[in-house]
Amino acid sequence: MSQLRILVGVKRVVDYAVKVRVNSSQTAVETANVKHSVNPFDEIAIEEAVRLRERLPKGSVAEIIALSCGPAKCTETLRTALALGIDRGIHVQVPEGTTLEPLAVAKLFSAVVKEEKPDLIIMGKQAIDDDSCQTGQMLAGLLDLPQANFVAKVDIKDDKLTASCEIDGGLETVECSLPAVITTDLRLNEPRYASLPGIMKAKKKPIKTVTPADLKVDIVSKLKVLKVEEPPKRKAGIKVETVEELLNKLKTEAGVL
Amino acid sequence: MSLQHTLSRALKALPRQSASKSASVSLTPALLYFSQLRSASYSTITGSKQTILHQKLKASKNSNVSSKNLISKRFAGYTPRTRNPNFKQLTAADVGKFGEILPKNRMLVSKELGGSEDTSDMDGYNTDWIGIYKGKAQVVLFPINAQEVSQILKYCNSEKIAVVPQGGNTGLVGASVPVFDEVIISLQKMNKVRSLDQDSGALVCDAGCVLEVLDNYLADHGLTMPLDLGAKGSCHIGGNVSTNAGGIRYLKYGSLHGSVLGLEAVLPDGTIVNNLSTLRKDSTGYDIKQLFIGAEGTIGIVTGVSILAARRPSSVNASILGANSYEDVRHLFKQAKSELSEILSAFEFWDSESMTLTLNYNKFSPPFETLYPFYVLIETSGSNTEHDEKSNLAQNGILAQDKSQFRKLWDYREKMPQAIFATGYAYKFDLSIPISKLHDIVGYLKQKLTSEGLFLDKDGKIDPSLPIISVNGFGHIGDGNLHLNVLMKNEDEKIIESFKYQVYDWIKSMNGSISAEHGLGIIEAENLHYSKTPEVIDIMKKIKHLFDPNGIMNPYKFFPPT
C-alpha cells in the first residue's frame, strides 16, 4: 500500500458545556470571554486519523495535517490537535469577527487540498456552533472526490476505503477509492485525553499561517443574518399542595381533563 | 505560574529526584492528562456532583450494606444498647405542648402518640445516610426560627426529653439520627438567606440552607462557598458547621474554624446565643462560636451561620497525573504547592486499587494505558482568565481541553466511594495523618491482613476465596486526610475487630486523628481516646456539662461510653 497522507479539519467553537447567550446587538451568540474548544466532531476526526496511523501497518500513514480556518486564536485549537498526535498544522487566518460560511470553508479546504494533495480528508460531520453539516459534502463536490458521511466505522485496505455510515434506521456500508472525504459521527471513536508529553511535543510542531488571499479564495458572505433571538423561556413550574388542587389545575388551567 | 508549566517541570524533575535518592525508586514517566477550563461556570460542574450524590444514595441504599444491618446487628464501633432511663418517655401531653409551639403542618407525630404518621413514614428521618443506623423517633419537629427552637428546647430540657438536631442527614458517622426515641428537630424549614455583605463577602443565613443552594445564590454575586463536598446537594450549612466538615476546597479556603465568622445557636435551656458577627477581626474575649463548630449538636443547636464567602474563581484547570510511588506523589505535592501556591485549589490522590474499582464499576476508560500505583488530581482556580490564558500561550502555546473533560476527570475521584460501596462490604476509615506517612497505613494493613491469611495469596495476588478483596486508600493529600477502605466480600465482625484497633493504634502512634472530617457520632465515639488525651476529653465533658447539664442534646454519641 502506498503511504497515506491525511488532512483533518479542526474548527474552534464555543465549548459544548457553555450556556450560550445572544449578544446585545442580537446579531450572533456572545463569543467574547467564553470558553472555546475543538468542535467535538473534529476531535473524533483527529482521533480517527491518529488511530489509523496506529492501526494500519507501521509506516502506512506518512503524515497527518490539521487545518483550521478562523481568527488568530485558532492556533490554540491547532495545538490541541498537535498534542493529540497530528504532525503539523495549517491555519487560514481571518480577522476576528469574520463569518465563514460552509461554502467559503469548503473552498479554503479545496485550495489547501490542491496544494497538499492528501489521500484522505477527515472532517467532523458538523460544527456544534452553526450545525450546518455542509462543509464536508461541499468539499467533496468541489474536488469531485468520493465521500462517506456520518461515518461510524472506517477501514482502509489496498487503497480502498470501507466505511459504515449512519443513516436513518441503520447503517450503510460504502466502499470507495482514495483520495476521499469522510465526515465523522459520534460513534466512530472515543477521543483520548491530551497527554502532557504530547502537549510538550506539540509546542515544537510547525503551524503554517496563510490567508484566504494567499489561497485566492473569496470568503465574502452570501448570507445576511437579520436577527438572532433566544427561544422563549419556559415558565417555572409550581408545586401543588393537594391532589384536589392538582386535578383542579389540570381541569381549569391546563385544560387536559 | 501556570499549572501547565508546573506540570512540565514536574515531569522533568521527578525522575531526577527519585533517581538521586535511591536507585530502586522507580521513575515517574507519566504526568499525563491535562485539561483546562477557562472562564468556567461552576454551576455546571457542581450540577454533576449533585447527580453523583443521588447515584451514591441509590447505590448505598441498594447495596447489601444498608438493607439488613441495623444498629443492633452491625459492628460499627460502640453501639449503645440501653436507653438512658433518666430521659422521659414522650406522652401525648408532650406532643400537645409541641403543638402549642408549632403548627400541625410542621410536626410529624406517630399514630402511637396520637399523630397521623405510620412509623415507616418517618424512616427517612430515623435512618442515617449510609443506612446503618436506625432510630425510633416518634416525633419530628420543623421549627422555622430560633425562637421556636428555643421554646422547644426549653420545654424538652425542663421535662428531660432527649433531642437530636438534624440537618440534611448526610453524615457518615450516625450523628444526625436518634439512637432510641429522641425527638428529631429538623432544621430543613429554616432555609432563608438573611444577608450578604457584598464588600466583605460575609453571608448570613439560616442553618437549614442547603450548601449548593447557597453556592448558587453566591454565584450571582461572583462569590462561592468556602467549602464544597460530595453531598452538597443535600447537606445543610448548619450540619457542615456542626460536623466541622472538610471537603475538596479545604486546601484553598481552610477550616470552617476560620471561615465561619459567627453563629446563632440555641442552648438547651432556651437561651438564644446571638453571635452572628460579620467581622473578620474580633478579639474580644472567648470565641464561643468555635465550640459549636464540630460539636455535633451536643451543646446546643446551630440555627444561623455567618460565613465568609470567597471570590468565585473564573478560571479553573485540572490535571490527572500518574505516579510510581507515594514518594513521587509527595514530591509532586511539594512542587505544586511551591509553584502554584495561591491558585492550587485541590490536590487529591488515590492508589491503583481504588482506581481499578472505580474503572470497573463506573465503566470509565482509564486516563492512561498503563495502570500506575498512584494517581494525583490537581485543580487550580484563578481569577484572571485572560492572564492564565496568555501566560499559558506564551510559555507553552498549549491547547484548551474542554469542560466535559474537566468533569470526567473529577468523576474518577468523585465516583470512587460509590464504586467501593457497590463492590463489596466496605469498612471505611477517615484518618488524619502527617503527609509523609499518609499512605503507609495501607501497606501496613495489607501486609498484616495477608500474613493473617485474610487477603492476597503467596504471590501477592487477589485470591477470591479469601474474605478481603481490596485494601485501598484515597483522599485529600493536601489536608493530610486519607480515606482508608477495607473491602470484604461479606460483613464479618471478627475480621473488622481484628484490624480496626490496630489501625487506630497506628494512628495514635503517628499523632494522627481517627476522624478527619466526618466527626465522631456513634461510630467513633468510643475511639475518641485514640485522638485526644484524657485531659482533653475531661475538658470536653466539662464543657458539655456546662451547656447541657441534663444531657438531653444528641445523647449516646460523641463521648466514649462511661
Instruction: Give bridge partners of residue B380 from the DSSP assignment.
Output: B317, B344
Q: Is pLDDT larger for residue B117 or for residue B265?
A: B265
3-state SS class at B40? coil
Q: Give the ipTM.
A: 0.70
- Lowest mean pLDDT segment, chosen from A54-63, B20-29, B142-151, B336-345: B20-29
φ, ψ (nearest 5 deg) of residue B489: -65, -45
Q: B3-40+314-509 belongs to which CATH class? A: alpha beta
Distances A213 to A68, A98, A106, A107 between C-alpha atoms, Å? 16, 14, 15, 12
- Lowest mean pLDDT segment, chosen from A233-242, B143-152, B512-521, B528-537: A233-242
Give the model confidence (pLDDT) of B408-419 as tens digits: 888 888 888 888
Contact at CB, B398 and A35, closer than 8 angstroms? no
Q: What total of structural domains would you count in chain A?
A: 1
User: Which of B9, B104, B402 best probes binding to A when mutated, by most A CB atoms within 10 angstroms?
Assistant: B402
What's the pLDDT score for residue B364? 86
Cell matching residue A165: 455510515
Distances A176 to A146, A150, A182, A207, B327 between C-alpha atoms, Å? 6, 15, 11, 31, 55
Cell matching residue B357: 474499582
pLDDT band at B77 (very low <50, low <70, confident <90, very high): low
What's the pLDDT score for residue B558? 94
3-state SS class at B182? coil
| pLDDT of residue B73 exceeding 50 | no
Instruction: List, in order, residues 6 or more apart from B387 with CB less than 8 Å away.
Output: none
Residues 10-49 of A with CB under 8 A from B: 15-19, 33-38, 40
What's the pLDDT score for residue A19? 81
What's the pLDDT score for residue B212? 94
Average pLDDT on B521-534 reads: 91
Average pLDDT on B387-396 reads: 30
| pLDDT of residue B57 exceeding 80 | no
- Lowest mean pLDDT segment, chosen from A195-199, B41-45, B205-209, B443-447: B41-45
CB B292 within 8 A of CB B263: yes
| pLDDT of residue B45 exceeding 50 | no
Give the model confidence (pLDDT) of A58-112 as tens digits: 989 999 999 999 999 999 999 999 999 999 999 999 998 888 999 999 999 999 9
φ, ψ (nearest 5 deg) of residue A2: -70, 165
Contact at CB, A37 and B365, closer than 8 angstroms? no
The rounded distance, in Å, linking the Cα atoms of A113 and A95 is 22
The rounded distance, in Å, linking the Cα atoms of B171 and B245 is 9
Find chain B residues with C-beta within 8 A of A40's C-beta: 402
- Lowest mean pLDDT segment, chosen from A183-197, B181-195, B454-468, B532-546: B454-468
What's the pLDDT score for residue B369? 77
Q: Is pLDDT larger for residue B5 or for residue A137?
A: A137
3-state SS class at B243? helix
Q: B78-186 belongs to which CATH class? A: alpha beta
Average pLDDT on B17-40 reads: 28
Which residue does chain B place closest to A74, by CA atoms?
B399
Instruction: List, in order, residues 6 or more apart from B398 with CB less than 8 Å away.
Output: A76, A79, A80, A83, A199, A202, A203, B4, B34, B36, B392
| pLDDT of residue B487 exceeding 70 | yes
- Where residue A70 sits, what CATH number does that domain have? 3.40.50.620
Contact at CB, B11 and A83, closer than 8 angstroms? no
A80 contacts chain B (CB < 8 A):
yes
Average pLDDT on B119-146 reads: 90
Helices B3-21, B385-396: crossing angle, 10 deg rounding: 50
What's the pLDDT score for residue B29? 27
A194 contacts chain B (CB < 8 A):
yes
The rounded distance, in Å, linking the Cα atoms of B247 and B345 is 11
Cell matching residue B299: 451543646
Contact at CB, A76 and B37, closer than 8 angstroms? no
The beta-carbon neighbor of B403 closest among A35, A76, A80 is A35
Which residue does chain A place closest to B41, by CA atoms?
A18
Q: Is pLDDT larger for residue A185 or for residue B280?
A: A185
Give the model confidence (pLDDT) of B180-216 as tens digits: 999 999 999 999 999 999 999 999 999 999 999 999 9
Give the model confidence (pLDDT) of B267-299 as tens digits: 999 999 999 988 888 888 999 999 999 999 999
Find chain A residues with C-beta within 8 A of B407's C-beta: 17
For residue A36, give how far its alpha carbon lies from the nearest alpha carbon of chain B (Å): 8
What's the pLDDT score for residue B391? 30
Q: What is the mean pLDDT of chain B?
A: 81
What's the pLDDT score for residue A196? 77
Average pLDDT on A143-165 reads: 94
Average pLDDT on A132-139 reads: 96
**Vertex B101, ends B100 and B106: CA angle to 5°?**
105
Instruction: Could you please state the CATH topology (level 3) that the domain comprising B193-311 is classified under.
Output: 3.30.465
State pTM to two decimals: 0.75
CB B282 within 8 A of CB B262: no
Instruction: List, in order, residues 6 or more apart from A160 with CB less than 8 Å away.
Output: A175, A176, A177, A178
Q: Is pLDDT larger for residue B217 or for residue B8?
A: B217
A79 contacts chain B (CB < 8 A):
yes
| pLDDT of residue B47 exceeding 60 | no
Residue B50 burial by Cβ neighbours in a 10 Å radius (0-12, 13-18, 19+) = middle
Q: Where are chain B's structural domains?
A: 3-40+314-509, 78-186, 193-311
User: Which of A31, A79, A196, A207 best probes binding to B when mutated, by most B CB atoms within 10 angstroms?
Assistant: A196
| pLDDT of residue B398 exceeding 50 | no
User: Which of A37, A38, A128, A205 best probes binding to B when mutated, by most B CB atoms within 10 angstroms?
Assistant: A37
| Domain limits for position A186 | 4-254
pLDDT band at B226 (very low <50, low <70, confident <90, very high): very high
The beta-carbon neighbor of B34 closest among A16, A199, A203 is A199
What's the pLDDT score for residue B16? 34
Q: Which of A31-35, B14-18, B313-317 has maximum average pLDDT?
A: A31-35
Q: Cis (ω within 30 of 0) for the bond into A179?
A: yes
Taking only Cα atoms into account, the Rg of chain B, rounded to an integer number of angstroms, comes to 24
pLDDT band at A33 (very low <50, low <70, confident <90, very high): confident
CB B83 within 8 A of CB B181: yes
CA A216 from centroid of its chain's CA atoms:
23
